[in-house]
Chains A and B, each alone.
Chain A
């Protein structure tokens, strides 16, 4: 298993655990929920940087002859990014602990609280579908190294080049 793949697995596991922890809001309380949310940002950026080649590749070939699933993935991932950005942005605006620790006080906007709740609910389903469409890559992790090297590591590249 090469270094890039190891890093991808680490970051993906970290993202999943963070998403799960963020959804245990009542268990963790507001303070932990907000700090995990803030820590989620660099991990998400790391995840996107590790998959940058796919993002650029699919952007370049978006209007070209690529399989429908790649096009669907691109649209879905963009929507997911929009929903995550909206959830984080609205979460920061309605935060009680994070903004207070920065010495900033903003009046709690009921609209942002509504957006945060709705977006986070959509995020669960969207994350599930995001995981589902990448099932080959995920299951590939548990396969033998040589098999995964051949079939899974290059699966997305093949899809793009088809």
Chain B
């Protein structure tokens, strides 16, 4: 019963934080971010399209090289009858995927070592100071 009350407190705090984030999402800055992200996505799509044309490869979901990129964007001219909208990416065992996990361990490990090191040094300094004060 005690834990239920605690969970409610955590949920309320979490909801407040989520509401703050939603509120930030309505600002002009968020609109600017949306535009930037959309632009970056369009550029990436265009790059993929150009690459596919160069290699003459039709990616999954596109009916022809001419329609590459259109199936996801939902623009007119796409012949594909497949459902539109974002698709879940399947798992891929690649070097890039493993590097992602490796970089997590490396960055988290370095951050932990740094903060732990700083803390250990400051604790040692405090102990030394107290010892000197006693003397």
Name A's B-contacting residues (CB within 8 A): 19-20, 23-32, 45, 48-49, 52, 69, 81-82, 85-86, 89-90, 96-97, 108-115, 124-129, 131-133, 135
Q: Tell whether A128 pairs with B7 under 8 Å between CB atoms, given A27-B92, A27-B100, A114-B33.
A: no
CB distance from B86 to the nearest CB of A (A): 5
Whether B7 lies near A45 (C-beta < 8 A) is yes
CB distance from B64 to the nearest CB of A (A): 25
Q: What 10 pairs between A and B have smallest CB-CB spacing?
A: A128-B111, A132-B115, A29-B91, A110-B37, A30-B88, A26-B97, A27-B97, A128-B108, A132-B116, A132-B112
Whether A29 lies near B88 (C-beta < 8 A) is yes
What are some 24 contacts across the A-B interface (CB < 8 A)? A20-B104, A23-B104, A26-B97, A27-B92, A29-B89, A29-B91, A30-B89, A81-B17, A90-B21, A96-B86, A109-B34, A110-B37, A110-B38, A111-B25, A111-B33, A114-B34, A125-B108, A128-B112, A129-B111, A131-B116, A132-B112, A132-B113, A133-B119, A135-B120
A126 to B112, CA, bound (A): 9
Residues of B within 8 A of A124 (CB): 104, 107-108, 111
Whether A131 lies near B91 (C-beta < 8 A) is no
Q: Tell whether A26 pairs with B94 under 8 Å between CB atoms, given A108-B86, A113-B37, A132-B111.
A: yes
A121 to chain B: closest residue by CB: B107
A125 to B117, CA, bound (A): 15
Residues of A within 8 A of B132 (CB): none
Whether A129 lies near B86 (C-beta < 8 A) is no
* Residues of A contacting B: mostly: helix
B77 within 8 A of A: no
Q: Tell whether A131 pairs with B112 under 8 Å between CB atoms, given A20-B105, A48-B10, A89-B21.
A: yes
